[in-house]
């Protein structure tokens, strides 16, 4: 009897140990399964392309103010090439303004890269000049342009003065502290012919295929 009683505590301890080990193993398997699911979801969400919407047939956008038919407010901004650039310098030409989020938004710089590569297509669509505008110190913008080997005219709207005038800071992911992803076509007379604010909710688009931009621009510009 004594020997049987001596064995019982050990048996119970072994049973508890097996039960505890089983629970721990189950928890580990569960955690690993959740982690794997998260990794799969992240991989399917970010596959190296700028944004998920770039592969869609049509990208929606808002039209802010000042919009088509309005006189484009003149401005003077520091250029990464040195000196200042005035919008009025391009009177008599069609100028495409690209207001973007800037530093920290790689798809925005990829957009500039693809716009540069599509210079022939831009000219065929009636665009004489591309001006890119973002907030931030001019030296940091210049460094980013150099790092990405970009050559477009890049202007620093450091205090958001011009962005506030054009209200392009209302269409982005950063509240109103940064620009979104806005294109404004200013015609030879200084009148806005087309505007597309792509960066607002719900999609917060930060990249649009150039052919999509040109198709929408040519379809809706006021001088068409």
3-state secondary structure of 19: helix
CATH of the domain at 192: 3.40.30.10
Confidence band for 200, pLDDT divided at 50, 70 and 90? confident
Q: Are 37 and 85 part of one and the same domain?
A: no
CA distance 193 to 67: 8
Q: Compare 104 and 76 and report the one with higher pLDDT.
A: 76
Q: Tell me whether residue 51 is in a domain.
A: no
Q: Are 68 and 112 part of one and the same domain?
A: yes
Provide the pLDDT for residue 219: 87
Provide the pLDDT for residue 27: 53
Please spell the DSSP secondary structure of 100-119, one letter per residue.
E--TT-HHHHHHHHHHHHTH
Angstrom CA distances, 176 to 93, 172, 208, stand at 30, 7, 21
Q: Compare 3 and 87 and report the one with higher pLDDT.
A: 87
Number of domains in the chain: 2
Provide the pLDDT for residue 139: 94
Which structural domain range is residue 35 located in?
1-46
Provide the pLDDT for residue 50: 36
Q: Compare 153 and 13 and report the one with higher pLDDT.
A: 153
Q: Are 41 and 107 part of one and the same domain?
A: no
Confidence band for 223, pLDDT divided at 50, 70 and 90? low
Provide the pLDDT for residue 203: 80
**pLDDT exceeds cutoff 80 at 39:** no
Q: Tell me whether residue 194 is in a domain.
A: yes
Please, what is the Cα angle at 183 between 161 and 153, to 5 degrees? 70
Q: Tell me whether residue 178 is in a domain.
A: yes
């Amino acid at each position: 009897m004594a020997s049987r009683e001596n064995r019982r505590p050990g048996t119970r301890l072994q049973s508890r140990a097996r039960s505890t080990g089983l629970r721990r193993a189950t928890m580990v398997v569960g955690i690993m399964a959740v982690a794997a699911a998260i990794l799969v979801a992240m991989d399917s969400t970010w596959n190296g392309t700028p944004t998920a919407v770039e592969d869609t047939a049509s990208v929606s956008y808002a039209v802010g103010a000042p919009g088509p038919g309005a006189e484009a407010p003149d401005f003077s901004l520091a250029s990464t090439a040195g000196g200042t650039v005035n919008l009025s310098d391009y009177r008599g030409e069609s100028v495409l303004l690209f207001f973007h989020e800037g530093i920290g938004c790689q798809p925005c710089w990829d957009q500039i890269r693809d716009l540069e590569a599509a210079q022939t297509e831009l000219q065929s669509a009636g665009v004489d000049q591309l001006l890119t505008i973002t907030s931030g110190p001019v030296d940091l913008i210049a460094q980013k342009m150099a790092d990405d080997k970009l050559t477009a005219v890049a202007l620093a709207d450091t205090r958001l003065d011009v962005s506030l005038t054009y209200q392009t800071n209302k269409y982005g992911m950063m509240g109103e502290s940064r620009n979104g992803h806005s294109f404004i076509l200013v015609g030879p007379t200084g009148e806005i012919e087309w505007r597309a604010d792509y960066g607002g909710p719900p999609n917060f688009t930060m990249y649009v295929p150039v052919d999509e931009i040109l198709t929408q621009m040519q379809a809706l510009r006021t001088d068409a």
